[in-house]
Amino acid sequence: MKNIIRIQSNDMTINKSDDWVILEEGCDSLKPHQILPMKAWLARVERGDNASSAVWIDVDDDPMELKGEIDKLSFICVFFADFKDGRGYSTAYLLRKRLNYQGDLRAFGDVLRDQLSLMRQCGFDSFAIKEGKDPHDAAKGVKGLSVTYSGSVSQPNPLYKRVRR
């Protein structure tokens, strides 16, 4: 994947590329750093085949289908087909809050600067910025608003519980 912004312990790094490869379909023999579609990954697990530790979730996939198998994953990517489609935000929130996913969570697809702050609040910790966009410029979007009112994955307490009186 290209144009990667990664946040770890509030430190941000930018890489022009990494070794991870998104596979469009399942394959017979897996190599390191291959990311299977969720449905292909679940089929491999059901058959008892060796499954990758990485999966990508499409806009129409139900992340709750990973319940009971989520501990086998160390890396999940969520696809954004269109920046106007908010299902990826809900997917990230479900993974972090309902399924208690603790591994790496990356947004990819139509990922733009203006989305990064909200994506971070929903639980993403890395972003593959849309091809043709400058990741250094996009990284400025991670900071977003200095104060948010509602609680989120990254800041569970709403503002009224954070303000000292």
User: Can you tell me the mean pLDDT for 73-90?
Assistant: 94
Confidence (pTM): 0.85
Coil, helix or strand at residue 50: coil
Q: Which residue has the tokens 């519980």?
A: 161
CB atoms within 10 A of CB 44: 17
In this model, does residue 112 exceed pLDDT 80? yes
Collect all residues with Cβ–Cβ distance below 8 Å to 157 and sequence separation of at least 6.
151
Report how far residue 67's alpha carbon sits from residue 129's, in angstroms, rounded to the nearest whole number: 28
Task: Give the pLDDT of residue 148.
Answer: 62
Give the whole-number percent of the chain exceeding pLDDT 70.
91
121 with 153: CB under 8 angstroms?
yes
How far apart are alpha carbons 165 and 45 in whole angstroms? 52
| Helix count and strand count (H, E) for the chain | 6, 8
Rounded to whole angstroms, the Cα distance separating 140 from 60 reads 30
What's the pLDDT tens digit per position in 36-57? 999 999 998 998 887 778 999 9
Set out the domains of the chain in order of their start, with CATH numbers: 2-162 (3.40.50)
pLDDT band at 92 (very low <50, low <70, confident <90, very high): very high
Q: In the prediction, which pLDDT does 113 show?
A: 87
Whole-number pLDDT of residue 78 = 98
Instruction: Report the pLDDT value the prediction gives residue 159, as an integer from 0 to 100.
Output: 66
Contact 123, 92 (CB under 8 A): yes
What pLDDT score does 145 carry?
Answer: 57
Q: What are phi and psi of 83, to 5 degrees?
A: -60, -20
Decide which of 96 and 156 is more confident: 96
Q: Closest by alpha carbon to 153, among 105, 87, 115?
A: 105
